[in-house]
Amino acid sequence: MANKGKTIMDITEIIRRWQSGQSIRAIKRETGYDRETIGKYISLAESKGLTRERKHTTEEIRELFSTELGVSSCRSEKTDILVQHVEEFKKLVTDKNNPLKAKSAFEVLSERHEFSSLVSYTTFKRFAKTHVSQKTQSQPAALKSQLAVKYK
């Protein structure tokens, strides 16, 4: 990859492969990045305290490298809007009496907080998948999965 600027994602991939035990040559074979470039980012990672033994999260790697690369690690404005309503979203989709699907929860939240002109449903759905760790099921889906287990 001749003289191509590396993004945070590129660097994260290099560091993750290094932490999983791949050699510089193996990383080069898999990614196509130059060995010197890979070595440079591994050296930089080690100078910032990263080790092969401790697996670091993508966020930690991004935070460490964002200042070095002059890339902002700040969340987007849309994410900042949605973060304020995560708990409310969880309550809507996990309500025992009337759980809502993500689309309905988005409509309720955007009506309550008037952010539908700022945040699209696609952005909301992507946010929900990455920031809401608890997977939810609607009542029919939960009932169906319980019946499948019961009658195996």
Query: What pLDDT was estimated at residue 22?
Result: 93
* CA proximity to 42, closest of 59, 57, 21, 70: 21
* CA proximity to 6, closest of 73, 46, 74, 65: 65
pLDDT tens-place string over residues 12-28: 888 889 999 999 999 99
Whether residue 150 is predicted with pLDDT greater than 50 in this model: the reply is: no
* CA proximity to 85, closest of 69, 99, 55, 106: 106
Query: What pLDDT was estimated at residue 137?
Result: 42
Q: HSE on the CB side for 119, CA within 13 Å?
A: 25
For residues 19 and 41, the answer to whether their CB atoms sit within 8 Å is: no
Region 77-82 average pLDDT: 79
Query: What pLDDT was estimated at residue 75?
Result: 56
Domain spans of the chain? Answer: 8-69, 77-150
Region 81-99 average pLDDT: 86
Whether residue 125 is predicted with pLDDT greater than 50 in this model: the reply is: yes
pTM, two decimal places: 0.45
Query: What pLDDT was estimated at residue 136?
Result: 44
Per cent of the chain over pLDDT 90 is 12
